[in-house]
Amino acid sequence: MRRYFMELAYDGAGYHGWQIQPNGKSVQETLMQALSTFLRCPVEVVGAGRTDAGVHASKMVAHFDFEGELDGPAVTDKLNRLLPPDIAVYAVWEVRADAHARFDATYRTYQYHVTTCKQPFGRQYAWRLFHPLDFERMNEAAATLFDYTDFTSFSKVHTDVKTNNCRILQAHWEQVSAHEWVFTIQADRFLRNMVRAVVGTLAEVGRGKLSVDGFRRVIEAKNRCSAGTSVPGHALFLVDVGYEEDLQCGHSHEHF
């Protein structure tokens, strides 16, 4: 059995998240149907993460197994013909048989987009702010995330994970145009709903409802009720997933 990685992107607006749901359309299921149709056998697909309903990915990595040798560009082309317009496969390549899209990922990077004015274009990919925010103060609060590893306060309750520990590698707001700001956060792993809860709590700091020390106390409380509300998913993007070079199957590859 050979293992293949694929790099893909999707607009999550029409999906109930990445993971297969009993009563809703998912990206994972749509991808598995296309692969199974093309390869003429049932194919399981494992993603690097589980984006929530409505959340997008400009770079997701997933893996699947197949007995035969596949031509990456040919598979990529065929899958893009079978998949709907809101999912695109960029590349397919062979990796080591024990490589795992989820467990071997060394980091994930998310970005959250906000806009301070009404926008007719791109409005479905940014959260509209109706109150001015102090982004400098929000960056000050975001910097405190590096001092902690237990982010229970920003996790959806009753999840099946063994630990709520994450190592934050990046966390900062950046102004990208006159009216647009982007929050970039990178970590070795993320908890369910974590990024949206972090952004929602940082917005409380930006509105002056929570101090930077108060933000620290939210983290230290290890209680989801102490954090702010989760911001909408439509403005959140998974933008990168990182791996070690040695996952490649006998040759280097530009995708990592």
Span 196-231, pLDDT tens digits: 999 999 999 999 999 999 999 999 999 989 898 999
**136-165 core/surface letters (b: 16 or more CB in 10 A; e: else):** ebbbebbebbeebeebbbbbeeeeeeeebe
Q: Which two tokens stand for residue 231?
A: 């911001």
Number of Cβ within a 10 Å radius of residue 18: 26
Mean pLDDT, the chain, integer: 93
Which pLDDT tens digit goes with each residue over 12-60? 999 999 999 888 999 999 999 999 999 999 999 999 999 999 999 999 9
Give me the pLDDT at residue 252, please: 40
Give me the pLDDT at residue 54, please: 95
Q: Which two tokens stand for residue 47?
A: 């993603």
Give the integer Cα–Cα distance in Å for 111 and 88: 19
Which of the following is catalytic: 11, 52, 104, 240? 52
Q: Give catalytic status of residue 240 as yes or no.
A: no
For residue 242, pLDDT beyond 50: yes
